[in-house]
């Protein structure tokens, strides 16, 4: 075994941590299971995050406190005769919070998620009813890049895409027949690069992903207007819609059952936003990996 191969091993790898048939390790089994394919590096960090001690000991008290604070903020802002927002302050504060208090694994997944979302939207545009719709250029590579209103822009890109996409479908009712003739274009499913220092300030960067999101949703609700916060929460339930968009393009619906954020016409409570965002992140990883596999299969057929 080379040094690089040894460094690439995770404690969940059987070559590093032997499997015990009389006392199976939950996370080792999940890591090796490929029933629903996920990028191996991202999956390693997901499972590492799920084992974080803050998730076991701090998540429940954080969730209770966060929901109490959220209830107060939402009530007060609904009663105020005016609305306010602080986009710049929100993103600068979120970036500082992520850099110094959230685990590197969780930060990696957050930064990666934005780029995956851009790949997915751009793929749908390339293969949709109008390939000239405005595409996403959000490709952050490090936590500092998130300070440039990335979270807000991510939501706006999603809503504007859905609006433009359906307008284009109305204007081009035979677009699927044309797609079948020219074939699926996978050029937007490009590699995602994330720069992350896993050692710097490690003693302070402890929070797991879901605990961090629970805290951040409170700050998000404070820094956005009531309508903007409601819009951000509802966007998480567009996963089902996106799954159907992909089915229209690929003709494959066999994987749609993995999508659990459903029914945007029956909005979930904002108190569930952190959990829904976790599910949204996982679904995005599923979809992107599915498209990578389809791309690789198409390239093999061409060869």
DSSP state of 24: -
187: β partners = none
Let me know: does 142 contact 111? Beta carbons within 8 Å: yes
Per-residue pLDDT of the chain (303 residues; tens, 9 = 90+): 333 333 344 667 666 678 889 999 899 899 889 888 999 999 999 999 999 999 999 999 999 999 999 999 999 999 999 999 999 999 999 999 999 999 999 999 999 999 999 999 999 999 999 999 999 999 999 999 999 999 999 999 999 999 999 999 999 999 999 999 999 999 999 999 999 999 888 899 999 999 999 999 999 999 999 999 999 999 999 999 999 999 999 999 988 988 999 999 999 999 999 999 999 999 999 999 999 999 999 988 876
Phi, psi of 207 (to 5 degrees): -70, 140
Q: What is the pLDDT of residue 176?
A: 95
CA distance 157 to 48: 30
DSSP state of 207: B
Record the pTM.
0.93
CA distance 276 to 237: 8
Q: What is the pLDDT of residue 3?
A: 31
Q: What is the pLDDT of residue 4?
A: 38
Distant-in-sequence, close-in-space partners of 291: CB < 8 Å, separation ≥ 6: 119, 120, 123, 186, 189, 246
CA distance 160 to 125: 12
- First vs last Cα of the chain: how many Å apart? 32
Report H helices in 102-238: 104-127, 150-171, 175-182, 209-223, 226-235
CA distance 7 to 47: 18
CA distance 159 to 235: 8
Q: What is the pLDDT of residue 135?
A: 96
């Amino acid at each position: 075994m080379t040094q690089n191969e040894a460094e690439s091993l995770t404690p969940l790898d059987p070559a590093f941590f032997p499997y015990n048939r009389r006392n199976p390790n939950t996370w080792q089994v999940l890591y090796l299971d490929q029933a629903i394919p996920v990028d191996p590096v991202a999956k390693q960090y997901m499972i590492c995050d799920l084992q974080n001690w803050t998730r076991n000991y701090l998540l429940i008290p954080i969730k209770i406190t966060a929901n109490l604070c959220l209830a107060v903020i939402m009530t007060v802002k609904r009663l105020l005769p005016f609305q306010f927002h602080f986009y710049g302050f929100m993103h600068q504060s979120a970036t500082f919070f992520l850099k110094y208090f959230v685990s590197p694994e969780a930060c990696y997944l957050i930064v990666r998620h934005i780029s995956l979302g851009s790949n997915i939207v751009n793929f749908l545009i390339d293969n949709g009813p109008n390939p000239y719709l405005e595409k996403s250029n959000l490709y952050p590579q490090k936590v500092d890049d998130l300070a440039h209103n990335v979270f807000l822009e991510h939501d706006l890109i999603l809503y504007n895409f859905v609006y433009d996409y359906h307008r284009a479908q109305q204007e081009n009712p035979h677009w699927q027949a044309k797609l079948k003739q020219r074939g699926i274009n996978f050029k937007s499913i490009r590699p995602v690069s994330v720069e992350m220092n896993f050692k710097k300030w490690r003693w302070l960067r402890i929070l797991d992903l879901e605990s961090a999101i629970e805290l951040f949703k409170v700050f998000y609700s404070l820094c956005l207007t009531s309508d903007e916060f409601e819009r951000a929460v509802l966007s998480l339930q567009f996963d089902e819609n996106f799954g159907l968009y992909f089915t229209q393009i690929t003709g494959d619906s066999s994987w749609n059952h993995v999508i659990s954020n459903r029914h945007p016409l029956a909005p979930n409570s904002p108190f569930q936003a952190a959990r829904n965002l976790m599910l949204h992140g996982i679904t995005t990883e599923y979809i992107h990996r599915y498209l990578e596999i389809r791309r690789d299969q198409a390239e093999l057929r061409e060869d």
